[in-house]
């Protein structure tokens, strides 16, 4: 049988054609008339096939486009949002640095006001889509002494801005269909009109954006958890030992039951958080719960799937190793598991 190779761009363009980048976006900017619940349903199914392909929904609509819709000027909305929704521009959001991860306020990338433009210097790390991105959201410090109140969000063109240099990161453990890179800014000039919100609003914008993209991450973890469960159950029905299918043995049944319970719990949490977002109700606690539980379900499910697959799980003939490599990412991106636990605990203690 002839093997058909489909490029990443072909898949990206097909997703745009199907309207996958229009969730939560107003129809006047090309939105599809649907919200977070529908975005999560689609993300879940994409991640069930391959976890890398849940990322474009966050990188196009729930990340840059929705954030511009919430904080941008009329001119910014009209200029940027339709091109993210149509897939003409490939998006990103750049927060993480070599020495800055969970502590967003400690970022060292800085921007200096030069009157009619800003000059940016610094470095961002592990940025999804960086090697292929057009425009997106760059967070930089504009007043280091003000800490989190001194962060500003910029709309920066990676491909056509002098002083911006992108280096692909090709040594990742998983998510191999999702390009990742390091970005260096060396006196990069950004126009004044490309500030999102006001100078100093960046931390508020960043936290709002992360609380939204975090649910996309949770839905992706849910999809991967479902893939692990389906793969393990299928194999348990097919594999024969001692004259019986291995699904007849209690230890295998116990493992499958635990996988199913975690998956279903994660599903209810993800759908509830998405519904709350669509109603415009407070949801930070519920979103962090969904992200935490779904990430755990994905990692535990991948480990259990490998156990049931046995030696075949340790080969690339079956998808178990890919599941495990991809699952680990969910405990890191969009706020680590430790950060989700911290947010959850603060609500439980009444500190938020």
For residue 189, give the H/E element and its range: strand 180-191
Q: What are the phi and psi torsion angles at 134 (to 5°)?
A: -100, -95
For residues 231 and 233, what is the distance between their CA atoms, to the nearest angstrom? 6
Q: What are the phi and psi torsion angles at 243 (to 5°)?
A: 80, 10
For residues 82 and 65, what is the distance between their CA atoms, to the nearest angstrom? 8
For residues 212 and 352, what is the distance between their CA atoms, to the nearest angstrom? 18
258 assigned to active site:
no
CA 165 centroid distance within chain: 23
- Marked catalytic residue, from 44, 182, 262, 334: 334
DSSP 204-243: HHHHHHHHHHHHHHHHHHHHHHHHHHHHHHHHHHH-EETT
Give the catalytic positions in this structure.
Answer: 334
């Amino acid at each position: 049988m002839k093997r058909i190779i489909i490029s990443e761009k072909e898949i990206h363009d097909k997703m745009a054609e199907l309207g996958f980048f229009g969730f939560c976006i107003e129809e006047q900017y090309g939105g599809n008339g649907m919200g977070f619940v529908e975005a999560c349903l689609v993300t879940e199914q994409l991640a069930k096939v391959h976890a890398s392909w849940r990322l474009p929904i966050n990188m196009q609509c729930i990340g840059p486009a929705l954030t511009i819709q919430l904080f941008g000027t009329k001119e910014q909305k009209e200029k940027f949002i339709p091109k993210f929704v149509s897939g003409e521009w490939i998006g990103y959001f750049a927060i993480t640095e070599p020495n800055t991860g969970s502590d967003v306020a400690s970022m060292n990338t800085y921007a200096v006001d030069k009157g009619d433009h800003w000059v940016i210097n610094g470095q961002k790390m592990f940025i999804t889509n960086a090697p292929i991105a057009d425009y997106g959201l760059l967070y930089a410090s504009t007043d280091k002494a003000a800490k989190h109140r001194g962060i500003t969000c910029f709309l920066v063109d990676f491909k056509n801005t002098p002083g911006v240099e992108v280096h692909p990161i090709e040594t990742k453990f998983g998510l191999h269909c999702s390009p990742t890179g390091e970005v260096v800014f060396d006196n990069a000039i950004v126009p004044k009109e490309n500030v999102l919100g006001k100078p100093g609003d960046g931390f508020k914008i960043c936290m709002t954006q992360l609380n939204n993209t975090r649910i996309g991450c949770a839905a992706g973890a849910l999809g991967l958890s479902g893939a692990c469960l389906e793969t393990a159950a299928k194999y348990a029905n097919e594999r024969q030992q001692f004259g019986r299918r291995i699904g007849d043995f209690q230890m295998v049944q116990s493992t499958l039951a635990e996988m199913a319970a975690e998956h279903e719990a994660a599903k209810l949490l993800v759908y509830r958080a998405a519904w709350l977002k669509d109603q415009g109700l407070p949801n930070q606690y519920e979103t962090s719960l969904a992200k935490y539980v779904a990430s755990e379900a994905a990692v535990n499910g991948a480990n259990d799937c490998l156990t049931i697959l046995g030696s075949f799980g340790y080969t690339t003939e079956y998808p178990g190793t890919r599941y495990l490599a991809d699952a680990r990412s969910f405990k890191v991106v969009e706020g680590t598991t430790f950060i989700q636990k911290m947010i959850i605990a603060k609500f439980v203690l009444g500190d938020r």
